[in-house]
Structure formats: C-alpha cells, structure tokens
C-alpha cells in the first residue's frame, strides 16, 4: 500500500476544511468520516448533496491511492452519485472499495452512511504521475 501518498491525500485544504478524516484503509479500500455541523446543511436541514458527493469522491480517491505505485496519484474522471434518502445526523461515514484497479484507470464504489445508507457513488479515476514527485 502506498502509505505516503495516502497520507498526502488527507492534507488537501478543502478536505480539512470539511473535517474529513481517515479512519482506516487497506489494499483497495478506505473508510473515512466527518462531523456534520450547520455549515454542511442545505436550507431544509439535511446534509447538502455536495458534502456527500465530496466525501464519496475523496474516499474513492483514497481507496484507489492504496493501489498506486510511488510517484503516481489519482484524478477523478467520471463520477455518479445516487442520493438514496435525506441525510441527517451528527456524522457521516464513507467506505469505498476498488471494483477494478488497472494500470491507467480504477473504478471505485463508495457508500455514504449516517445510521443507514444515504448515498452510493461510482467513481472512475485516472492514474497519473504525481506533480513534483520522483518515481
């Protein structure tokens, strides 16, 4: 597992601003969570779809990152999100699993949960050379 690149994924300012943190990861999978506060809600008090999308996308990227070689990174090239029910609660958790890890593309599935499944995403990521890195 590319632990150095995985750790770097969680230094992104936007991810830190939202409070997304790594819980656990292994070869081809990742588990994250984030607190939910007033800033994450839409006008009716539910967790905003954009917040759920960001969590699903970033967790998918982290899962794909566990399989890349040193000097490589991943970039989302396609993203589909199904919002299954309104999300409420104090925290969101997301588990992502690589369905197909290839040399140039990875396909990953993410599930976002409160106390139950609220969203499911399918994310395709390109494997690219990491900027400013040797390898």
- Report the CATH number at residue 78: 3.10.129.10
Report the Cα 8 to chain-centroid distance in Å: 13
- Checking if the pLDDT of 135 tops 60, the result is no
Domain-located, residue 134: no
Domain assignment present for 49? yes
Residue 131 pLDDT: 76
Range of the domain at 21: 3-129
In the prediction, which pLDDT does 132 show? 54
Task: Decide: residue 41, CB within 10 A, 0-12 exposed, 13-18 middle, 19+ buried.
Answer: middle
Count of domains observed in the chain? 1
pTM: 0.94
DSSP H/E element including 14: helix 13-18
Structural domain contains residue 135: no
Number of Cβ within 10 Å of residue 33's Cβ equals 18
Q: Please write the tens of the pLDDT for every residue from 28-50.
A: 999 999 999 999 999 999 999 99
Specify whether the backbone of 132 is left (phi greater than 0), alpha (psi in -120 to 50) or beta: left
- What average pLDDT is seen over the chain? 95
At 2 the pLDDT is: 75
Query: Is residue 35 a part of any domain in this protein?
Result: yes
């Amino acid at each position: 597992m590319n632990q150095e690149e995985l750790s770097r994924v969680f230094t992104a300012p936007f991810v830190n601003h939202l409070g997304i943190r790594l819980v656990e990861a292994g070869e081809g999978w990742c588990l994250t969570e984030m607190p939910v506060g007033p800033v994450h809600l839409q006008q009716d008090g539910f967790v905003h779809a954009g917040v759920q999308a960001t969590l699903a996308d970033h967790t998918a990227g982290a899962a794909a990152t566990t399989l890349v070689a040193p000097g490589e990174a991943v970039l989302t090239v396609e993203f589909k999100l199904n919002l299954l029910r309104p999300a409420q609660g104090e925290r969101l958790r997301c588990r992502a699993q690589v369905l197909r890890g290839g040399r140039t593309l990875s396909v990953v599935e993410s599930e976002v949960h409160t106390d139950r499944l609220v969203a499911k995403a399918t994310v395709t990521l390109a494997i690219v050379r990491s900027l400013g890195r040797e390898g």
